[in-house]
Amino acid sequence: MPGRAPAIRDLIAAGERSFSFEFFPPRDDEGEVRLWQTIRELEPLHPTFVSVTYGAGGTTRERTIRITGRIAVETTLTPVAHLTCVSHSRDELRQVIGHYADAGVRNMLALRGDPRGGPGQPWTSHPGGLDHAVELVQLVRRLGDFCVGVAAFPEKHPEAASPDSDAAVLAAKARAGADFAVTQLFFDAEDYFALLGRVRALGCEIPIIPGIMPITNVAQVSRFAELSGSAVPDRILDQLSPAKDAGEVRRIGVGLATALCDELLAGGAPGLHFYTLNRSKATREIFTALHVTSP
């Protein structure tokens, strides 16, 4: 039986900054080999945690669960398990949570998830399932002493009526038992700090970790931003437009991400969460530029 993993809430409460990495589930065995290479390259940085997402609409569930369990058993890393309401009954969710617990995974990220048809499509709940992340938080907390994270949206969730109503949803998730939040990717520090202000005005003190995606491919990052209800600002596109090749785009993108990280940490952000796209080089370069030291 694996040893008990530290709770993310305890690490943050102790005043330690959280530096974490997110991977997406590979489509095939070849992609999984590349993912494990990336995991091993990032392991020496001693991140606070790593996570593996579900595919769109809840696909790749089995591969995600298997990889997360392997991380817990075969590496020194602390995995945070993704859970979504998509295509799950309550009983299936209980089984998944039990599988994670058996592998020593005690930190969960509770998400509603995107509709099976993708972002922008109508949400349809699974028969016997859940409709909202707050319900999933409650379910996880009832099943044991888990540490639960949730999603936050600096530019509001695409389905939210307003930034204020979206902040109220995050506060409700905290009241339900969420211990920390991780934001979707964004590009302007003021969006993060504005979200923080809205949430704090509601009396909610949940730690909110900024989500960072370095721009190494403009079209790819623009697509991810669109799916999360965001957009790459014109000022950033203007800085990238003179780039003569992919290498130059990457150099500029890493520099922009490093500057954003500097501003967030200087403003008191409790850490950084990197969307790695299953590649380690850009993340490692940013770590070096920020002078982040491994324990």
Residue 115: predicted pLDDT? 60
Can you tell me the mean pLDDT for 213-238? 83
Confidence of residue 295 (pLDDT cuts 50, 70, 90): very low
Residue 281 and residue 287: Cα distance in Å, rounded? 10
Mean pLDDT is lowest, of 168-182, 256-270, 276-290, for 276-290
Query: Which sign does the torsion angle of CA 213, 183, 26, 59 carry?
Result: negative
Q: What is the pLDDT of residue 265?
A: 95
* DSSP-derived secondary structure for the chain: -PPPPPPHHHHHHTTPPEEEEEE---SSHHHHHHHHHHHHHHGGG--SEEEEPPPGGGTTHHHHHHHHHHHHHHSS--EEEEEESTT--HHHHHHHHHHHHHTT--EEEEE----TT-TTSPP-PPTT--SSHHHHHHHHHHTSS-EEEEEE-TT--TT-SSHHHHHHHHHHHHHTT--EEEEEE-S-HHHHHHHHHHHHHTT----EEEEE---SSHHHHHHHHHHTT----HHHHHHHTT--SHHHHHHHHHHHHHHHHHHHHHTT-SEEEEE-TT--HHHHHHHHHHT----
Band the pLDDT of 131: cuts 50, 70, 90: confident
Return the pLDDT at 123. 55
Among 63-72, 74-83, 115-124, the range with the most confident prediction by mean pLDDT is 74-83
- Distance between the two ends of the chain, CA-based, in angstroms? 25
pLDDT confidence band for 76 (50 / 70 / 90): very high
What's the CA gap between 20 and 292, in Å, rounded? 12
pLDDT greater than 70 at residue 1: no
pLDDT of residue 114 exceeding 70:
no
The pLDDT of residue 2 is above 60: no
Cβ-Cβ contacts under 8 Å for 184 (sequence gap 6 or more): 151, 152, 153, 154, 155, 211, 228, 229, 230
Measured CA to CA, the distance from residue 20 to residue 271 in angstroms comes to: 8
Query: Whole-model pTM?
Result: 0.90
Structural domains present in the chain: 8-290 (3.20.20.220)
Q: Is 22 a catalytic residue?
A: yes
pLDDT in the model for residue 240? 87
Active-site entry in 22, 41, 159, 248: 22
pLDDT for 260: 96
